[in-house]
Every structure is written in C-alpha cells, then in structure tokens.
Amino acid sequence: MTAPLRIVVLAGGRSAEREVSLRSGAAVAAALRRGGHDVHELDPAACNLEMVDWRAFQAVNQPAAAIAPVDAVFLALHGEFGEDGQVQQILERAGVPYTGSGPEASRIAFSKFAAKEAFRRDGIPTPDWEVLRAEDSPEDWRLAADRIGLPLVVKPDQQGSSLGVTIVTDWGQFDAALAESFRYDRVGLIERAIPGEEWTVAVLDDLPLPPIRIESSHLFFDFHAKYAADDTRFVFDDRPPACVTETALAACRALDVRGISRVDLRLDEAGRPWVLEVNTVPGMTDRSLAPRAAARIGWDMTEFCERVLCSALEGARRQNAYGLSDRPGSRPHRRAG
C-alpha cells in the first residue's frame, strides 16, 4: 500500500464486548497511523452511523477545511451490531468500503446455531448441539441436555469473547451454566464437549495464517484466559496437522466470509478436527490471536492492518465492477475481497 488513506476505525459500541472492542480499535488506529494514514476513531455508541456523511467526513475537533471522503472503514466492533450484519448493512447502503464479511455472512457467523447448520450442510465436522430458549421449560432443557450427554458446553447463541460460556461436567452445574448463558442471550446452545486440543486459524481471504495451538490452565480458552491470564501459551507447531488448516478454510467457504476472519476448532484425541465457530471481526489487541499469527510470517501490525484494508478495497472494486451486492448468489461463491 503506497498512498496514505483516510480511514475510520469503528470501535466501542454498546455490546458486552465494548472494552475489548475499544482496545482492538486503539491498536488498529495506532498501527495505521504508524503507516502514515489519516485515521479517525469513531464509537457507534456516541453517534448515529446512519447520519454520517462518509463522502464529506469531518472528524470531531477538525476544521471544515479537513472535510474529505473516507476511503474505507476498518471494523474493530465486536459483538452485537458489529458482527451480526447490522453495521455492515449501514455501510453497504452508504457505499463505503469496509473490512470483513458482508451483512449475510456476518449474520450467519454470529449465530452459532445458524453457522453450525451451514457447517452440517457442507459436511464440516462440528460438535452435536441442541438449541435452548429461555422461555422453554426446565424439563425441555434437561431432555435436550440428556440427548447431548456429559461433558457438554453451554453457550449463548449470539455472543463473543467466550462470554456466558461454561463447560458442564456434572449435572449439578447445569442450571447455573444455563442461567449464565441466558444473561447474554435468550437463546442458547448446548454442545458436546470435545476433549483434546484447542486450535485457531486466522484467514485473510483465501490465505490461512499459521495455526495456533492454545494451551491454558483453564478448562477452555475463556474470557479470562484470552485477555488477562499470564499462563496461557500460544504455540506455533513446526508441522501443524494439515486437517486443521483445511477444515478452517472449508468453514470459511461454508459461511462465504471474506476479508479477515478466525476459525476456532478442537482437535480430538483421535486427531479429528471439529469446528466451533468462525469469528468475522477477530480481536486485534496486543493479546489477540490474528495479529500473533500475522507476526509469525513477518507482518508487523501496520502491514497486517494494511493488508486487511487492501482486501476490503479490492472487494469493493470488484463489487462495483460487476454491479454486485452482498445478497446470496449475487457474487462468486468464493470470497471477492
């Protein structure tokens, strides 16, 4: 990337992941400024994005002479509104390029239930699951849990950063785990727990970055292990199992995601991969996994963010050239940006 760009970084919002989002946004903004770009941070909790004029953008505390079009929006907006297709729809209508997946792919990926349906349809291994709703009876909850069996994982359908997620190894833990999940979403999933290793693969369009094996003293890679624990280890194996990368790419194709994403998997004791989810706005903090994977192949944070932006701009150019929108079937099946 040669010419400096005018970039708006969207971060913050009102979701439960607000603080992590602000940290991601600050890291992205700092990296792009180091690259010489004109960067402005914008918090959707403090403004109405529908009213923003992206073609004549004036940042706060800047003179009228500084009004200029925005070249692209970098999404560092985690959780509800940022990952569920809402902000993507706003930016699509405005015609401004933005990083990451389009509205429909984002909507499906953010719903664990919808994503798992897509995985199953494409023959991608994902742990068995049942959907639970807060308005269902406790008897229905227990019958569903019996069908999965112990150990199982309870998680909100639409939430990130492992918030509201509990591993249940004893039936005495089940009710509290379900109550914790319903704090974040009235719809939850129970999922068969997969003993084995935890892996994650960041993907930039068709390019898989080096897989990371996660070692933690916690039962799983929960919120504390992700953002606070000092004993979490992020391991780059010299020869990671090929099935990890292959399955991650298949999961991305199943959801038709584009740009930067991150696939979380389990590798069971027999060496079989199981996809848990695809994150369409992965974390970009100093502890986050995607920047670690990028650094492994020699990309510093500035180069990584610039490559993500290039993906967004190229995707927008292709979409404009072919008169495409982000409707299913309106563009080539493999990611255009």
Q: Which residues are catalytic?
A: 17, 161, 227, 262, 264, 277, 279, 283
Sign of CA dihedral 20, 22, 26, 29: positive
Kindly report the number of other CB atoms within 10 A of residue 329's CB atom: 7
Which phi-psi region, left, alpha or beta, contains residue 286 (left: φ > 0; alpha: ψ -120 to 50)?
A: alpha
Distance CA 132, CA 138 (A): 10
Q: Do residues 226 and 293 make contact, with C-beta atoms less than 8 angstroms apart?
A: no
What separation in angstroms does the CA of 32 have from each of 27, 142, 278? 9, 50, 25
Distance CA 114, CA 256 (A): 13
What separation in angstroms does the CA of 254 have from each of 89, 100, 105, 120, 210? 21, 16, 9, 9, 21
Backbone phi and psi for residue 55, each to the nearest 5 degrees, phi listed first: -85, -15
Distance CA 7, CA 9 (A): 6
For 66-218, list the strands marked E by DSSP: 72-75, 129-133, 152-156, 166-168, 187-192, 196-204, 207-208, 212-215
Q: How buried is residue 39: exposed, middle or buried, by Cβ count under 10 Å (0-12/13-18/19+)?
A: buried
